[in-house]
Structure 1
Amino acid sequence: MAAARYHGIELDLRDFAAEPGESSPSPATLVRWLRDYGAVAKGMRLRWRYLVKLGYTPPVVLLFRDGSAGLLVRTDPEKGIVWLRDPLKGEGEPPVPVDELRLMQLWTGDVVLIKRRSDESESDAVFDFYWFAKMVLREKKGLRDIIFASMIVSVLGLFPAMIVMQVVDRVINYHSMATLVSLSGFVLILSLYEILLTYARQELMLIVTTRIDARISLHAFNRLLALPLEFYERQQAGEVLGRFHSIFKVRDFMTGQVMNTLLDMFMLMVVMPVLFYMSSTMAWLTLLCAGGIGLIVVIMLPVVSRVAGKMVRAEMQRGATLYETVAGIRTVKTLALEATRRAEWDERTATVIHWRLASQRLSNWVNTLVQPLNMFINRGIILVGAYLVLTDSDTMQGGALMAFMMLGGRVAAPLVSLAKLMESINEVTVSLGEAGAVLNQPTETYALTHGMRPVIKGALSFDSINFTYPGAANKALSDVNFEVPAGTMLGLVGRSGSGKSTITRLLQGVSRNYQGYLRLDGVDLREINLHYLRRSFGVVLQDNFLFRGTIHDNITAGRPGLTLDDVIRAARLAGAEEFIERMPAGYETWIEEGSTNISGGQRQRLAIARAVISDPKLMILDEATSALDPESEALVNANLQNLAKGRTMVIVSHRLSSLVKCDQIAVLDQGRVVDIAPHETLLERCDVYRTLWLQQNRHLEAAESSPSRGAARDDNHPAGGQD
C-alpha cells in the first residue's frame, strides 16, 4: 500500500482476496490486486546482484519468508548494501541498510514492481481515427518486424515470375536440361524461404493484431464504465450497446483491412519498377486501368457511404428492439405483448433489409463498372503483349510476357484494395461516429481517480442546496438547508416528486452540478474521491440487481476479500440468514439471471446484506422495503436499529410507519425541506407530515374508535332493554 501511495494510488485492504490455500500473498495475487486499481504491476524473481544494481528507484516491494514485506528505497552497488523501510511505519521513518547476508536470510527472492499507468491520458482521449492510430503505433517493434518481413516476401515474390521467364526463354527454347535442374534447385530454396517468412509474418500479424484488439477492448470498456449514471438514464440501453459494438467494426478495419492493404502496397512498390523495366507500354496500361477502377470507386463513394450509414443505424435500432424484448421478456409474456413486439421487430427488419439491399445493389453497380477494366488487366494485356512480341521481338519476348502477366495481377490487386479501402472508410466513419456518441461523452474518470479520502464518520450538512435536472423547467431541490450529526437515523418523506431520491443521488455523487454546499464530516462532497466515496457508502434501492452467481458471490460483490463469517454476519443483519440456511446449498446457492429462482423479498434482503457487509459509516435505503411482503418488511424494520448502530442512515420511504423510530425525519414538499424533527414533534406542528400520516393510518384510527362507539351504543341501548 505504501509503494502504491508513492504513485498516487490508494488501496483498500478490504478489497484484497488471497487465493485459496495461500498462507501469505503470492506475487501473482498482489499483482492482480494492484491491476484492479489501475496500476501497472509486475511480479518477478531477482537475484542479489541484479537487485543491488537498481539504484535510486521508486519503492520496490520485497516479499519475506514470514509473510511480511519490505520496501526497497535505495541501493549502493559499490558497498553492496540496500536500504529497506518498514511499510507499516510512517514515511518519516529512516530506512535501514541491509547487506546480502542479512537480506538473504529473510528474502524469498520475489519482488513486486509498481508504477502508475502511463496511458491515463489515452483513457480520456477522444475516440477517433487518431486515437486508433496511436493504439496501432504503440506496437512499433512488431510493426517494424512485419514491414521488414513484408519487404523480403515482396522481393521473393518477384523470383517466380523471373524464373518462368527464364524457363520459357532459356530452357524451352534451347532445350537446356542443366539450366532446368539449376532453376529447380533455386525454386526449391526460394520457396522454402518464402514459406518460412510468410508464416513468420502471419504469426507476427496475429500477435500484433491480438494485442491491439485487447488494448482497444480494454480502453473502450473502461470508458463505458466511467460514464456517469445520468447518461445511462437518458439513453436506451439497446442503442448504447449497439453503438458500443460499432467500435469493433473500426477495430477490424484498422487491424485487418488497413494493415493488409498497406502490406500489399509494399508489393506494388517492388513490382512497378520491374514492370516498367519489362515493358513501359504494358505497365502504363496496367496502371491506367487500375487507376480507373480506383476513380470509379471514389466517385461512387458518397452515395455508397450514405446508404451504408443508414444501414448501420437501422441495424442498431433493430438491435435495440431485440435487447429491449429480451430484457423485458417477463413483461412481454405476462401481458401477452408478443404480437406488438413481433410487429416492431418486423418493421425494424424490413428497414434493415431495405437499406442492405440498396447497399448491395450499389456495390453490384460498382463491381459491374470496374469489371471491364479488371478484365482488360487480366485478359487484354496479354493480347497487347502478344502484339508487341510479334512486332518487336527485341523489346518483348514470350518469357517476359508470361512474367509480366504473373506480376501484372499483383499491381491491380493493391490498387483495387486501396480503392475499396476508401469505400470502407466512410462506413467505418459512420461506425466511429456512432461509437463516439457513447464513448466520447464526459466521464467521471477525474472524479474517480482524484480527490480527498477523509475518514468518514457520517455527519451531513446541506447548505443552500439548489439542483435542477438537465432539461427540466423547475428545480428538483430548492434552498435545502439542514444538518445531522454522525450516527443519526434520518428519514426522508414527502409526496412523489418532492425531492427525496434527488437528495440520495447527490449524496452518492450521481449528480454533482448542484449549487450550494453539501458536506460530509465538514468536507465538501465534490472534493472527495468519487470511487472512495461510493465504496464508503452502503446503498439499497427499490429494485436491486443481483448478478448471476452464488449468494456468497453476490453478498461479497464489492468486497471479494471478505470471509464467510463476514457474509453470515451481514446476512444476519439483513434478516436473510433464515431463508439462506433453508436452501439446499446454503450460501453457495446459485442465483439465476434476473433472480428468477428467489422471491422479491429475498432479493431485497440479499441486497441489504451486500450493502452492510463492508460496515459502511453511511447507509442509504431508497424505498428499500417497498417491494417486500409484510413479513419481510417487518423483519427488515426490526433490524433497522441493529443496522443503524455506529453509522448514519438515510432512509427514503413512502410508508411513514417504518420511519417512526428515526432520530430525525425531514419532510420535503416541492423540493423544499418544510420541517425536520422526530415523529411525535412533526405530528404536532407539520401539516404536510400530519396529512401524510393520516392518509396512511386512517384505518388504524377507525379501528381504535370503533370499540368506543360500540360501548356508547351499548350504554344507550342495553341488551334486551326497551325505550
Structure 2
Amino acid sequence: MDLQNVLVETIGSMRTVKALAAEDEVRKKVESKFRLSTFVQMKSWKIGIISGSIGTVLQTLSGVTVLYAGAGFIIGEKLTVGELMAFSAVYALVTNAALGLIGIWDEFQGLRIALERLDDVFETEREEVDPTGLTALPKLRGTIEFERVSFRYDSDGKNVLQNISFELAPGQTIAVVGRSGSGKSTLVNLLLKLYEPSSGSVRVDGHDLKRVQAATLRKQIGVVQQEAGLFSGTIRENIAYQIPDASMDEVMAASMLAGAHEFIMTFPNGYDTQVGERGASLSGGQRQRIAIARALIGNPRILIFDEATSALDNESEKTIQRNMSTILQDRTTLIIAHRLSTIRHADRILVLDQGVIAESGTHEQLMAAKGLYHMLVSQPLE
C-alpha cells in the first residue's frame, strides 16, 4: 500500500484513529511509507535524469538530421543557407518551448493539487493546543458522570443535547435508545472527548474531561462503532491496532471473547490473513467481530458499543450475546443499540427524544409505563 493510499485511508478513518488513541501508531506507519516513497521518488528522479539525457540526445540527433537534410536541399539548390539557418533556429525554439511547457504544466498541476490538500490540513483546528497543560488520567475505575450537559454544533445553532444528567458506577451498564437523530451518538462523542459540551460537564472518575489529555482517556476506553473501521493489513494487526506489541495469546483471547476466532481459523493464513482496504475481503459480521476484539484487547475499564451489533447476522449476534456477560464483567458499559436483545439486560435504559432524556429505568419498568420506550420496542427502532 503506497503513501497516498495510507494517507487517504487514515484521513477517511480519522474518527476511528482518534477513538482508539492510535495517532502515534498511525504516525509511525505514515513515516515508514514516507521514507519508502522518498526512496522511490529518488530512484524515479535518477531515471528521469537518464531519460532526460536520452531526450537531449534524440533532440540533438533530430537537429543533425534537419541540418543534413537541409544540406542536401542546398546542394540541390532547393533551399538557401539563410533559409536553412532560419528554419533550424525556429525549429529549436519551438521544440524547447514545447518540452518546457509540458514539464511546467505537469509540475503546476501537481503543485496545485498538493497545495489544496495541504491547505485543508493547515486549516484544521488542532484538538489540543497545549496537552501538557492538561491532566494525564491515571488507571480508571470506571465512574462516568454527565451533569447538566448541553451540546450544539454551532454557537448559534439548536442544542442537539439539552440538560443531560446521569451517573454510572464502576461495572454498571447503561443503554441509550431513541429515534434516529435524537442525540445518542453525540453522547459517545462527548465521552470520548471528540466533542466538548457547550455547557455542563462530563466527568470520568471525578476528572472533568475538559481538563484531561484526550489520549490518556481514549487508551482506557474500548469502542465499537457501527462502522467497523478496519485498516489494510492482517487480522492480527487490526485486532492489536491500539496495542501493536500485544502477544498472540492476547490477540486470540480477545477474538475468542468477540466470537471471531472460529471464522478466523477457517482462513488458510489464519490471523495473518490480509483484510484488504477497509476490510473489504471480509463480510460485515466478520468485520464487526474483529472490531469488537480490537476494543477488548486492552482490557478497558470502560466499554462503548455504538450500534455495534447492527451489522451482525443472527448467528454472529447469538455468539456475541452468549459472551456478553463475560464481556461486560467488571466494565462500565455504554450501549447504543436498537436490538432488544442487546439492551434489555442493562442496569438502566435512557430514552432520548429530541435531545432530552424522555424516560429512564429498567426494561421492565419502562415497558410497564407504556410510554415512548414501549412504543419503540414494539416496532423496529431507527
TM-score by length of 2: 0.69
* Deviation at residue 578 of structure 1 after TM alignment: 2.0
Question: 2:31 maps to what in 1?
Answer: none
Query: 2:137 is matched with which residue: 444, 447, 454?
Result: 454
Cα gap change, 1:426 to 1:565, in 2 (>3 Å): closer
Deviation at 1:641, TM superposition (A): 1.2
**Does residue 682 in structure 1 map to residue 370 in structure 2?**
no
TM-aligned CA deviation for residue 643 of structure 1: 0.8
CA distance in 2, matches of 1:588, 1:666: 41
> What does the per-residue CA deviation read over 1:137-170, in whole Å, with 9 as the maximum and x for residues that have no partner?
xxxxxxxxxxxxxxxxxxxxxxxxxxxxxxxxxx
Structure-2 separation of matches of 1:601 and 1:590:
16
Higher RCO (CA < 8 A, seq sep 6+): 2
| Contact in 2 for aligned 1:448/1:531 (Cα 8 Å) | no
Tell me how far apart the structure 2 counterparts of residues 472 and 588 of structure 1 sit (CA, whole Å).
Answer: 50
- Kindly tell me: are residues 473 and 645 of structure 1, through their superposed partners in 2, closer, same or farther at Cα, counting changes over 3 Å? same
* Cα distance change on mapping 1:547 and 1:435 into 2, 3 Å: closer
1:547: how far off? 2.1
Counterpart residue identity of residue 142, structure 2: G
Q: Residue 605 of structure 1 is aligned with which of 289, 309, 327?
A: 289
Which residue is equivalent to 1:629?
Answer: 313
Question: Which runs of structure 2 are paired with 1:154-193 in the superposition (5 Å)?
Answer: none
Letter of the structure 1 residue corresponding to residue 238 of structure 2: N
| Pairing 1:474-489 to 2, within 5 Å after superposition | 474-489=158-173
2:222 and 2:141 mapped to 1: Cα distance? Answer: 13
1:599 shift after superposition: 2.0
Q: CA deviation at 1:624?
A: 0.6
The CA deviation string for residues 439-488 of structure 1, in whole angstroms up to 9 with x for no partner, is: 22244353684321222222111111111124984321011111111211
Q: 1:544, 1:607 within 8 Å by CA — same for their partners in 2?
A: yes
CA contact (8 A) 2:137 2:213 kept: no
CA shift in 2, pair 1:436/1:592, >3 Å: closer
CA contact (8 A) 2:267 2:273 kept: yes
The alignment partner of 2:285 has SS state of helix
Match for 1:477: what amino acid? L
Alignment pair present for 1:434 and 2:108 = no
Distance 1:533 1:480 in 2: 21
Deviations 1:337-389 (A, max 9, x none): xxxxxxxxxxxxxxxxxxxxxxxxxxxxxxxxxxx9xx89x99xxxxxxxxxx
Matched with 2:351 is: 667
The alpha-carbon deviation at position 429 of structure 1 amounts to 8.6
What is aligned with 2:183? Answer: 499
- Give the corresponding residue for 1:648: 332
**Mapping of residues 245-256 of structure 1, within 5 Å:** none
Mapped to 2, the partners of 1:511 and 1:228 lie a distance apart of 14
- Could you tell me how far apart the structure 1 residues matched to 2:107 and 2:286 are? 52
Match of 2:261 among 572, 577, 590: 577
Q: How far apart, in 2, do the equivalents of 1:432 and 1:567 lie?
A: 39
SS at match of 1:695: coil
Query: Contact 1:538 / 1:612 at 8 angstroms: preserved in 2?
Result: yes
User: Residues 488 and 648 of structure 1 are in contact (CA less than 8 Å); yes or no, is this contact kept in structure 2?
Assistant: yes
Q: 1:463 aligns with which of 147, 162, 180?
A: 147
Give per-residue Cα distances to partners, 1:182-220, cap 9 Å, x unaligned.
Answer: xxxxxxxxxxxxxxxxxxxxxxxxxxxxxxxxxxx9xxx
- Contact conserved, 1:447 with 1:529, CA < 8 A, in 2? no
Deviations 1:95-118 (A, max 9, x none): xxxxxxxxxxxxxxxxxxxxxxxx
CA contact (8 A) 1:464 1:481 kept: yes
Using the alignment, how far apart are the partners of 2:227 and 2:326 within structure 1?
Answer: 23
State the Cα distance separating 1:611 from its structure 2 match.
Answer: 0.7
Aligned-partner Cα distance in 2 for 1:425–1:597: 37
Q: Does 1:616 align with 2:297?
A: no
1:192-207 alignment runs, 5 A limit: none
Tell me the distance in 2 between the aligned counterparts of 1:473 and 1:484.
29
Is the CA contact 2:338–2:380 (under 8 Å) kept in the aligned structure 1? no
| Maintained 8 Å contact 2:137/2:216 | no
Please list every run of 5 or more consecutive structure 1 residues that lacks an aligned counterpart in the other structure.
1-216, 233-247, 257-371, 380-416, 698-723
**Cα–Cα, structure 1 residues 436 and 678, in superposed 2: closer, same or farther, change >3 Å?**
same
Q: Paired residue for 1:639, among 320, 323, 329?
A: 323
8 Å CA contact 2:177, 2:184 repeated in 1:
yes
- Checking the alignment, whether the CA contact within 8 Å between 2:366 and 2:373 is kept in structure 1 is yes
State the shift of 1:591 in Å. Answer: 2.0
Q: Which amino acid is 2:153 matched to?
A: Y
State the one-letter code of the partner of 2:324: L
The answer to whether the 8 Å contact 1:490/1:662 transfers is yes
Residues 581, 423 of structure 1: CA spacing in aligned structure 2 closer, same or farther, 3 A cutoff? closer
Offset of residue 531 of structure 1? 1.5
For 1:472 and 1:622, the matched residues in 2 are separated by 28
Q: Following superposition of structure 1 onto structure 2, how do residues 181-580 of structure 1 map, counting pairs within 5 Å? A: 229=15, 434-444=116-126, 446=128, 449-450=131-132, 451-455=134-138, 456-470=140-154, 473-512=157-196, 514-580=198-264
Instruction: Give secondary structure in 1 for the equivalent of 2:228.
Output: coil
- C-alpha change, 1:228 and 1:658, in structure 2 (3 Å) is closer
Q: Count residues with an aligned counterpart.
A: 303
After TM superposition, the runs of 4+ consecutive aligned structure 1 residues lying more than 3 A away are 227-230, 422-433, 442-445, 447-450, 470-473
Distance of 2:229 and 2:187 partners within structure 1: 21
Corresponding letter in the other structure for 1:454 = L
Structure 2: 5+ residue runs without aligned partners? 19-36, 46-85, 94-99
Q: Assess, with a 3 A threshold, how the Cα gap between structure 1 residues 426 and 627 changes in structure 2: closer, same or farther.
A: closer
Contact 1:449 1:531 in 2 (8 A): no
Instruction: Name the CA distance, whole Å, in 1 between partners of 2:106 and 2:258.
Output: 56
Contact 2:175 2:348 in 1 (8 A): yes
Identity, % of aligned positions: 35
User: Secondary structure of the equivalent of 1:675?
Assistant: strand
